[in-house]
């Protein structure tokens, strides 16, 4: 009896496990031309949700047989984790309008993404809409697994009221060079106007360099990516200047070493933040915002910054891919991009935004610097092991720049060496 019970339990367990793991993906050839209801996921940004709901309503009104349901991405520490979990479970939505380019190599490796290049007119549509900037979003195999959808070029947002309290010129702040930025920061803290001049998170998360190091490196290096031609680029004069600049901010306590449990800019604890245009709408009720470019050692206009871009991607679990592709084109059409800009203040990945949507930028001039910056943005490198690579960089940055436990030169050299090893490892997985 015992043996039979044990066998029965084992069979049940294995059957249950097999059933849970055995949710098959749709046949690609059938799914490619299939039409029908689909689900799309949106980020949990309130303005994006509002845009998404009106976009889906407009679609559903015109396509009653191809009903689209919009939901927010399931809760998780990051959207990438939630999406990755859904790929493994076979429960991802057809389209996700919040796919980080840094996560695309991982999703590809998980066989979670549909190549948009394989869809009718895929490559041509992406190139036509986004122009030359879209080349940064091709995967190493030359195909597009993401549609570059919107960018949030990172700039310096500052609190005019706190600047005035510190006796600084709030309309023409001196933030262009590293020396000016440091002097302004010292004045902000010394005067007691703000606890911190600037407060990016000093935590060890792999994505934090996108809001301190990377925008400054893009500006200082003339638009270099972290990795180009399979070589790390940051152990260079430009990288060392950026690291030394941030090291001074931390060493002089102008930027705190401890993460703030909330939004320090919104709470009036910090006078500046490195953020994209989404923050203009988010801060509009609490902060009188001014915008300035990311500083460089020498100052000057026309510098690059990090794009903080999010793509739209189609997932392998999608059974009605023809509908999904049509919806993707509808959601990124000139009209919907205009509605998106109007509702969220974020920049659709299009060329000549200021000409195309001139009315918007005339009515809301705060956004114009972001639109101009959007023409000079640098993306994260689209390489396998992207998350590992950023984590390796962040670990050394935290040690050398945030806490000063080794020289910034040593930190960058160590990070470069580790990342070279990772590139070799991912290039030769055997």
Choice from 17, 30, 44, 334 touching other proteins (CB under 8 A): 17
Site for other proteins contains 1 (CB under 8 A): yes
Choice from 9, 46, 358, 363 touching other proteins (CB under 8 A): 9
In angstroms, rounded to a whole number, what is the distance separating the alpha carbons of residues 177 and 294? 9
Of 302, 321, 335, 426, which Cα lies nearest the Cα of 29? 321
Greatest alpha-carbon span in the chain:
86
Site for other proteins contains 206 (CB under 8 A): yes
Closer to other proteins by Cβ: residue 66 or 106: 106
In angstroms, rounded to a whole number, what is the distance separating the alpha carbons of residues 166 and 152? 29
Alpha carbons within 13 A on the beta-carbon side of 178: 18
Choice from 330, 399, 409, 426 touching other proteins (CB under 8 A): 399
User: Rounded to the nearest whole angstrom, what is the least distance from the CB of residue 6 to other proteins in the complex?
Assistant: 8
Contact 246, 181 (CB under 8 A): no
User: Rounded to the nearest whole angstrom, what is the least distance from the CB of residue 79 to other proteins in the complex?
Assistant: 13
Closer to other proteins by Cβ: residue 364 or 399: 399
User: Rounded to the nearest whole angstrom, what is the least distance from the CB of residue 367 to other proteins in the complex?
Assistant: 32
H-helix or E-strand spanning residue 246: helix 237-251
User: Rounded to the nearest whole angstrom, what is the least distance from the CB of residue 347 to other proteins in the complex?
Assistant: 28
Stretch that binds other proteins, among 272-280, 291-299, 367-375, 401-409 (CB under 8 A): 401-409
Site for other proteins contains 32 (CB under 8 A): no
Choice from 47, 110, 165, 372 touching other proteins (CB under 8 A): 110
Closer to other proteins by Cβ: residue 202 or 295: 202
Choice from 7, 10, 71, 410 touching other proteins (CB under 8 A): 10
Closer to other proteins by Cβ: residue 351 or 395: 395
Chain mean position to CA 259: 20
Choice from 195, 224, 368, 413 touching other proteins (CB under 8 A): 195
CA-to-CA separations, 409 to 222, 288, 394, in angstroms, rounded: 20, 38, 14
H-helix or E-strand spanning residue 157: strand 155-159
Closer to other proteins by Cβ: residue 330 or 426: 426
Site for other proteins contains 81 (CB under 8 A): yes
In angstroms, rounded to a whole number, what is the distance separating the alpha carbons of residues 294 and 45? 24
In angstroms, rounded to a whole number, what is the distance separating the alpha carbons of residues 349 and 372? 12
User: Rounded to the nearest whole angstrom, what is the least distance from the CB of residue 226 to other proteins in the complex?
Assistant: 16
Closer to other proteins by Cβ: residue 14 or 124: 14
Closer to other proteins by Cβ: residue 299 or 404: 404
Site for other proteins contains 363 (CB under 8 A): no
Closer to other proteins by Cβ: residue 365 or 429: 429
- DSSP strand pairing (270-275 vs 289-292): unpaired
Q: Is the dihedral of CA 5, 9, 10, 11 positive or negative?
A: positive
SS3 11: helix
User: 221-233: string of b/e by CB count within 10 Å (b at 16+)?
Assistant: beebbbbeeeebb
Contact 206, 176 (CB under 8 A): no
Of 267, 293, 107, 136, which Cα lies nearest the Cα of 215? 293
**Other CB atoms within 10 A of residue 317 CB:** 21
Choice from 7, 30, 33, 109 touching other proteins (CB under 8 A): 109
Closer to other proteins by Cβ: residue 205 or 351: 205
Of 341, 333, 348, which Cα lies nearest the Cα of 58? 333
Site for other proteins contains 202 (CB under 8 A): yes
Choice from 153, 215, 256, 276 touching other proteins (CB under 8 A): 256
Site for other proteins contains 18 (CB under 8 A): no
Choice from 187, 387, 413, 420 touching other proteins (CB under 8 A): 387
Site residue total, other proteins (CB under 8 A) = 50
Site for other proteins contains 21 (CB under 8 A): yes
In angstroms, rounded to a whole number, what is the distance separating the alpha carbons of residues 215 and 209? 9
What is the contact surface with other proteins in residues (CB under 8 A)? 1-2, 5-6, 9-10, 12-13, 16-17, 21-25, 81, 84, 87-90, 106, 109-112, 195, 201-206, 256-259, 261, 316-317, 387-388, 391, 395, 398-399, 402-403, 405, 429
């Amino acid at each position: 009896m015992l043996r039979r019970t044990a066998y029965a339990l084992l069979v049940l367990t294995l059957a249950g496990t097999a059933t849970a793991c055995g949710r098959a993906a749709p046949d690609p050839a059938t799914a490619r031309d299939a039409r029908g209801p689909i689900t799309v996921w949106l980020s949990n940004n309130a303005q994006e949700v509002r845009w998404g709901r009106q976009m889906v309503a407009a679609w559903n009104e015109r396509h009653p047989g191809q009903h689209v349901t919009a939901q927010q991405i399931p809760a998780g520490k990051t959207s990438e984790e939630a999406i990755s979990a859904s790929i493994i479970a076979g429960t991802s939505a057809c389209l996700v309008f919040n796919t980080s380019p840094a996560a695309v190599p991982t999703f590809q490796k998980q066989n979670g993404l549909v190549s948009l290049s394989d869809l009718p007119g895929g490559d041509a549509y992406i190139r036509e809409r986004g122009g030359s900037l879209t080349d940064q979003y091709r995967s190493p195999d030359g195909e597009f697994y993401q549609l570059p959808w919107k960018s949030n070029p990172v700039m310096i947002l500052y609190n005019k009221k706190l600047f005035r309290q510190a006796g600084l010129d709030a309309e023409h702040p001196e933030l262009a060079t590293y020396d000016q930025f440091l002097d302004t920061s010292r004045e902000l803290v010394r005067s007691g106007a703000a606890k911190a001049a600037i407060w990016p998170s000093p935590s060890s998360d792999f994505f934090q360099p996108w809001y301190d190091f990377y925008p400054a490196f893009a500006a200082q290096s003339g638009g270099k990516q972290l990795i180009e031609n399979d070589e790390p680029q940051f152990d260079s004069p430009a990288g060392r200047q950026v690291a030394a600049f941030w090291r001074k901010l931390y060493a002089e306590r102008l930027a705190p070493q401890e993460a703030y449990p909330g939004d320090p800019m919104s709470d009036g604890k910090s006078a500046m933040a490195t953020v994209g245009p989404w923050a203009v709408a988010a801060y509009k009720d609490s902060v009188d915002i001014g915008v300035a470019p990311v500083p460089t050692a020498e100052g000057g206009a026309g510098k690059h910054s990090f794009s903080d871009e999010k793509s739209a991607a189609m997932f392998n679990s999608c059974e009605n891919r023809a509908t999904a592709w049509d919806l993707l084109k509808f959601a990124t059409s000139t009209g919907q991009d205009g509605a998106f800009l109007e509702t969220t203040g974020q920049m659709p990945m299009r060329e000549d935004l200021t000409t195309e949507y001139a009315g918007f930028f005339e009515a809301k001039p705060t956004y114009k610097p972001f639109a101009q910056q959007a023409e000079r943005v640098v993306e994260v490198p689209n390489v396998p092991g992207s998350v590992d690579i950023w984590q390796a960089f962040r670990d050394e940055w935290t040690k050398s720049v945030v806490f000063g436990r080794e020289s910034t030169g040593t930190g960058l050299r160590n990070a470069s060496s580790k990342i070279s090893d990772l590139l070799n490892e991912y290039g030769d997985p055997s």
